[in-house]
């Protein structure tokens, strides 16, 4: 009973198979897998009936794809040279490649059947018989061997081996290894701050370790600090980018920002602004050159002096560290300011009694600072970044070079110290090159109001600035994790708004 039943079912299945084999596979994109395996097998079976069995060639044959192995088709197997398909860029995206040039050696009416084989289940290939295209959506990276078998009317089976390389999605390759919080000069991998200055005036800042550092468990090299002095209605904004290749640059950027802040805070007293007011008024009404000089001379004592003190303090720290190292490890090691290399952008924004803003910046290195006015679609960039011949080259606060510290104070003022008076602004924005590189791409774009508008729109879309509380800093930090291929430096951004 049982046996009979099985026999019946088998017959039934065979007849279904027979029907299937009449349907030409070209009619649809055939998925190669378990399903098509039976279909292919039966195809061969069907053909077998018409072929002279004597033609079987009794000679060593190249290994056959598993699903074809069972076929007793008497064919001459003709292997072809390995070809390489264009790489699949990343996993998880659609891939398509035409094999038309390979099949061009056959006239369409010669081709009896086309089959694809593969060795793994990780790559489900589709074959488009009309366009002679293979397509797939690989789920795993790797090198895959594919064979295309073409049966032609003269009882030949042509086997074309192909290699397909699938790259991993870089996003899946990045690791996030926490940095050692017990190492010398340890630093949290991210940081953020929100300061409420007064009604409708806040400072928000966030700093995120770059993926290239996260990949190796290295610490964040960027740093920032901000303060609002209510008494004189003056905001101090500072960001610093420690050089990726300097071993203690994380401490360099920390010392630079802290030291600079201390000096600027101590200098920007109510008396200081009072003393400067006449020159500012004169400059605003007459654009007087002499007034400009006296403003810059006053600012020199605040900002340039702050930067110089930061540099000096870093140099001192290098020596201190050398002494500590000698005491701890009982052997000498040289450390210098170079090991603490950092950039520095610092901005002082002071609300004037007339209602406008007096804004001044001192800037060494890359990154960017801008005063953005959305309504007017304008941006004032208070300086120019230091760039080199190649990417990633810049100047550092810690250098002794005359490029950064010219002998002549006037030259230094001209190159690195700026001030402007604006009636209002939407945001004063400071950022390290981890943000400015992906968002502005080129140095010229840093001065392009269109690019600033794009950035501002993007930020406004992601961050509810008007909430004016710590959630704004959270949102900024979250936004800063944006994806941009090849741009994985530390990112720091600060906005006064």
Partner 1 sequence: MRRLPVYLLVDTSGSMKGEPIEAVNTGLQMLVSSLRRDPQALETAYLSIITFDREARLVLPLTPVAELQLPLIETPDCGPTMTGAALELVCQRVDTEVRTQSTDIKRDWKPLLFIMTDGAPSDIQKYNEMVPECKKRKFAAITACAAGMKAKIDALRELATSVVSLDTCDSATFSQFFQWVSASISSGAQSVGVSSQLVLPPPPEAISIV
Site membership for partner 1, residue 243 (CB under 8 A): yes
Segment interacting with partner 1, rule: CB under 8 A, options 56-64, 80-88, 401-409, 456-464: 80-88
389 lies in the site for partner 1, by CB under 8 A: yes
Smallest gap from residue 444 Cβ to partner 1 (A) = 5
Q: What is the DSSP string of 382-440?
A: -S-----SSTT----TT--STTTS-SSHHHHHHHHEEEEEES--SEEEEE-HHHHHHHH
- Which residues within the stretch 312-341 sit at the binding site for partner 1 (CB under 8 A)? 338, 341
Three-state DSSP class for 477?
Answer: helix
For the CA atoms of 477, 479, 480, 482, the dihedral, rounded to the nearest 10 degrees, stands at 150
With binding defined as CB under 8 A, does residue 67 bind partner 1? no
The residue among 419, 393, 377 whose CA lies nearest residue 283 is 419
Q: Rank residues 215 and 281 by Cβ distance to partner 1 and give the closer one.
A: 215
Query: Smallest distance, Å, CB 308 to partner 1?
Result: 20
How many Cα neighbours within 13 Å face the side chain of 301?
Answer: 12
| H or E segment and range at residue 170 | helix 170-173
Residue selected from 51, 64, 168, 184 as contacting partner 1 according to rule CB under 8 A? 168
CB of 87 to partner 1, least distance (A): 6
Q: Binding residue for partner 1 (CB under 8 A) from 13, 174, 410, 469? A: 174
Q: Is 199 helix (H, G, I), strand (E, B) or coil?
A: coil
In this complex, which beta carbon is closest to partner 1, that of residue 65 or of residue 365? 365
- 347 is a contact residue toward partner 1 (CB under 8 A): no
CA distance 98 to 486: 30
For the bound state, the minimum distance from the C-beta of residue 97 to partner 1, rounded and expressed in Å, comes to: 12
Minimum distance, C-beta of residue 249 to partner 1, in the bound complex (Å): 8
Q: Which is nearer to partner 1, 95 or 419 (CB)?
A: 95
Query: Does 147 participate in binding partner 1 (rule CB under 8 A)?
Result: no
- Please tell me what DSSP assigns to residue 446: G
Binding residue (CB under 8 A) for partner 1 from 170, 188, 377, 450: 170
Judged by CB under 8 A, which of 62, 392, 423, 450 binds partner 1? 392
Residue 84 C-beta-side C-alpha neighbours within 13 Å:
6
Task: Decide: is 394 part of the binding site for partner 1 (CB under 8 A).
Answer: yes
Q: CB-wise, 55 or 441, nearer to partner 1?
A: 441
Where are the extended beta strands (E) located within 153-298? 156-166, 190-198, 201-208, 222-229, 234-241
Closest separation between CB of residue 84 and partner 1, Å?
5
Under the binding rule (CB under 8 A), the answer on residue 9 touching partner 1 is no
**243 or 306: CB nearest partner 1:** 243
Which segment (43-51, 108-116, 240-248, 285-293) binds partner 1 by CB under 8 A? Answer: 240-248
**CB distance 451 to 439 below 8 Å:** yes
Contact 407, 401 (CB under 8 A): no
The window from 17-25, 34-42, 167-175, 471-479 that contacts partner 1 (CB under 8 A) reads 167-175
Query: Taking CB under 8 A as the rule, does residue 245 contact partner 1?
Result: yes
Q: What is the spatial distance between Cα 116 and Cα 67, in angstroms, rounded to a whole number?
A: 10
CB closer to partner 1 out of 243 and 428: 243
Q: Which residues of 444-476 are buried (b: 16+ CB within 10 A; e: fewer)?
A: eebeebebbeebbeebeeebebeebeeebbebb
Strands 491-496 and 111-118: unpaired
Rounded to the nearest angstrom, the gap between the alpha carbon of residue 484 and the centroid of all alpha carbons in its chain is 3
Q: Which of 95, 283, 363, 396 binds partner 1 (CB under 8 A)?
A: 396
Return d(Cα 25, Cα 15) in angstroms, integer.
18
- Window of 5-13, 104-112, 164-172, 354-362 that interacts with partner 1 by CB under 8 A: 164-172
Q: Give the list of residues 6+ apart from residue 434 with CB closer than 8 angstroms, or none.
A: 208, 210, 222, 241, 487, 489, 490, 491, 492
Which of residues 202 and 394 has its CB atom nearest to partner 1 in the complex? 394
CB 399 within 8 Å of CB 377: no
Nearer to partner 1, 373 or 490 (CB): 490
What does the per-residue mask of binding to partner 1 show for 82-111, with x meaning CB under 8 A? Answer: --x-xx-xx---------------------
In the sheet where 133-136 sits, what is the strand order? 30-31, 126-128, 133-136, 95-98
Is 143 or 467 the residue whose CB approaches partner 1 more closely? 143
> For partner 1, which residue of 140, 181, 393, 464 counts as binding (CB under 8 A)?
393
Q: Segment contacting partner 1 (CB under 8 A): 169-177, 258-266, 303-311, 467-475?
A: 169-177
Q: Which of 310, 197, 205, 194 is nearest to 262 (CA)?
A: 310
- Return the residues of window 399-458 that contact partner 1 according to CB under 8 A: 437, 441-444
- Residue listed under structure tokens 């007034």: 291
Question: Stretches 31-39, 41-49, 117-125, 389-397: which one binds partner 1 (CB under 8 A)?
Answer: 389-397
What is the contact mask toward partner 1 in residues 478 to 497, using x (rule: CB under 8 A)? -------xxxxx--------
Using CB under 8 A as the binding criterion, the count of chain residues that bind partner 1 stands at 43
Q: By CB under 8 A, name the binding residues for partner 1.
A: 84, 86-87, 89-90, 141, 143, 165, 167-168, 170-171, 173-174, 211-212, 215, 243-246, 249, 338, 341, 387-394, 396, 437, 441-444, 485-489
């Amino acid at each position: 009973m049982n046996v009979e039943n099985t026999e019946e079912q088998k017959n039934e299945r065979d007849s279904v198979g027979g029907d299937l084999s009449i349907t030409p596979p070209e009619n649809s994109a055939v998925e190669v897998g378990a399903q098509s395996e039976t279909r292919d097998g039966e195809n061969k079976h069907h053909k077998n009936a018409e072929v002279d069995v004597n033609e079987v060639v009794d000679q060593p044959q190249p290994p056959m794809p598993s699903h074809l192995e069972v076929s007793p088709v008497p064919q001459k197997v003709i292997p072809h040279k390995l070809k390489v398909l264009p790489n699949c860029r990343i996993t998880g995206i659609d891939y398509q490649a035409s094999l038309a040039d390979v099949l061009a050696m056959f006239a369409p009416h010669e081709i009896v059947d086309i089959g694809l084989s593969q060795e793994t289940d990780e790559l489900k290939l589709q074959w488009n018989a009309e366009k002679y295209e293979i397509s797939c959506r690989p789920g795993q990276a790797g090198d895959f061997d594919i064979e295309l078998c073409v049966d032609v009317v003269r009882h030949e089976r042509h086997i074309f081996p192909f290699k397909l390389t699938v790259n991993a999605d870089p996003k899946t390759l990045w690791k996030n290894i926490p940095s050692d919080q017990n190492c010398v000069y340890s630093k949290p991998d991210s940081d953020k701050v929100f300061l409420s200055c007064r009604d409708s005036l806040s400072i928000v800042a966030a700093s995120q370790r770059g993926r290239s550092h996260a990949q190796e468990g290295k610490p964040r090299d960027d740093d920032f600090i901000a303060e609002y002095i209510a008494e004189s209605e003056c905001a101090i904004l500072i960001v610093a980018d420690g050089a990726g290749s300097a071993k203690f640059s994380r401490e360099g950027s920390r010392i630079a920002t802290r030291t600079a802040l201390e000096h600027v805070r101590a200098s920007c007293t109510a008396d200081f602004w009072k003393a400067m007011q006449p020159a500012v008024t004169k400059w605003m009404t007459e654009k007087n050159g002499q007034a400009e000089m006296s403003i810059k001379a006053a600012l020199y004592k605040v900002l340039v002096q702050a930067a110089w003190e930061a540099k000096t303090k870093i140099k001192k720290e290098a020596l201190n560290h050398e002494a500590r190292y000698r005491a701890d490890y009982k052997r000498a090691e040289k450390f210098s300011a170079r090991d603490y290399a950092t950039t520095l952008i610092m901005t002082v924004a002071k609300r004037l009694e007339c209602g406008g803003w007096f804004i001044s910046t001192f800037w060494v290195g890359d990154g960017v600072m801008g005063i953005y006015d959305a309504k007017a679609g304008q941006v004032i960039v208070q300086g120019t970044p230091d760039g080199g011949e190649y990417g990633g080259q810049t100047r550092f606060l810690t250098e002794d070079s005359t490029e950064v510290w010219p002998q002549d104070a006037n030259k230094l003022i001209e190159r690195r110290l700026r001030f402007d008076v604006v009636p209002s602004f939407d945001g004063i924005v400071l950022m390290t090159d981890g943000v400015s590189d992906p968002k502005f791409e080129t140095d010229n774009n840093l001065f392009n109001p269109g690019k600033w508008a794009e950035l501002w729109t993007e930020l406004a879309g992601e961050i509810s600035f008007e909430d004016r509380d710590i959630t704004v800093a959270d949102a900024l930090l979250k936004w800063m994790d944006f994806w941009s291929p090849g741009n994985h430096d530390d990112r720091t951004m600060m906005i006064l708004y």
